[in-house]
Amino acid sequence: MARANFNDIQAFIAVAREGSFTRAAARLGVTQSALSQTVANLEARLKIRLLARTTRSVAPTAAGERLLTRLEGHFAAIEEELNAATAMRQEPAGTVRISCGDFALSTILLPRLAPLLRQYPDIKLEFNVNYGFVDIVAERYDAGIRFGETIDKDMIALPIGGAVRMAAVATPAYFAQYPIPRKPQELTRHNCINMRFPTYGGLDIWEFERDKRVVRIKVDGQVVCNTSPHIVEAALSGLGLAYLPEEEFAPHIAEKRLIRVLEDWCPPFSGYHIYYPSRRQPSPAFSLVLQALQAKARPSG
């Protein structure tokens, strides 16, 4: 009977889920060549091809999909039991993986969780900066950070920040060349700095609201970014009109490097939340992360 150790199987599962040897190797902390050899050895012992490889992607074969479906749940159960065993230690330990954006990481997560890491040296935090709608269950994250109104209803979602408002801004020099927009529809005549989302590859649709009337505008411009800090930089460089949560522009607005427009079309909405699967039992390390993030959360409103 063909036999394989757990490392072989975990390597196969990682590659199948990531759809890439490069990404899977980075996730597992091994070299791409070593990971490729591990999977090849597993296929050789089973005498069947588990992954279909092309120059651009990797996907499970029919046999690989069957194996993945049958085994992945068992490994998740094993991991939960190991976490439960770890929880019996006197000191909390383990890795907590969180999917988040740049701004939430720098302004909320790192400042609030740094004291936790100093207090508990056996706790590790892994942050993945991602602007897509990540499936945290499939990607094996413990939690994600998103605005409250975008979180699926089957998740537990806890606020870690106050209400948020969007802001449309540009430099004084930009508005010296172009008229200040008085209503969202006028943005179609402006050079706008937009964001491309990795989940579906499309550009952001700018949404405004006033007196319960919602207006969604498809803008255009010379610059497209996939992270918010670069959008801020592009706006400061005078490359166009940008649209992000106001806190990302706040110091530049205060110092008049950026001028805010359409403010009456930007009502507050539910701010940053940490969310995680309702069926998952939080580990002691994750429970401490939740406590630290909620302890200093500003009240919404």
Please report whether residue 238 resides in a domain. yes
Q: How far apart are CA 216 and CA 129, in angstroms?
A: 26
- Average confidence (pLDDT) per 10 residues, the chain, 301 residues: 65 85 83 88 88 82 85 71 61 90 93 95 93 80 88 87 94 97 96 84 89 95 94 97 96 97 95 85 88 70 38
| 228-236 vs 246-254: helix crossing angle, rounded to 10 | 30
Please report whether residue 184 resides in a domain. yes
What's the whole-model pTM score?
A: 0.67
Domain shared by 149 and 219, yes or no: no
Domain shared by 180 and 209, yes or no: yes
Q: Which tens digits make up the pLDDT trace of 24-59?
A: 888 788 888 888 888 888 888 888 898 988 777 788
The CATH number linked to 232 is: 3.40.190.290
Q: How far apart are CA 227 and CA 231, in angstroms?
A: 7
For residue 102, the enclosing domain spans 89-163+271-295
Tell me the two tokens of residue 160.
């870690």
Q: For residue 120, what pLDDT is reported?
A: 94
The CATH number linked to 122 is: 3.40.190.10
Q: Which tens digits make up the pLDDT trace of 137-181?
A: 878 899 999 998 778 888 899 999 889 999 999 999 999 999 999
Q: How far apart are CA 274 and CA 281, in angstroms?
A: 15
Instruction: Report the share of the chain in percent with pLDDT over 70.
Output: 89
Please report whether residue 80 resides in a domain. no
Burial 101-139 (b: 16+ CB within 10 A, else e): bbbbbeebbeebbeebeeebeebebebeebbebbebeee
Domain shared by 116 and 187, yes or no: no
Domain shared by 142 and 278, yes or no: yes
Q: For residue 110, what pLDDT is reported?
A: 96
Please report whether residue 129 resides in a domain. yes
Please report whether residue 191 resides in a domain. yes
Please report whether residue 301 resides in a domain. no
Domain count, the chain: 3
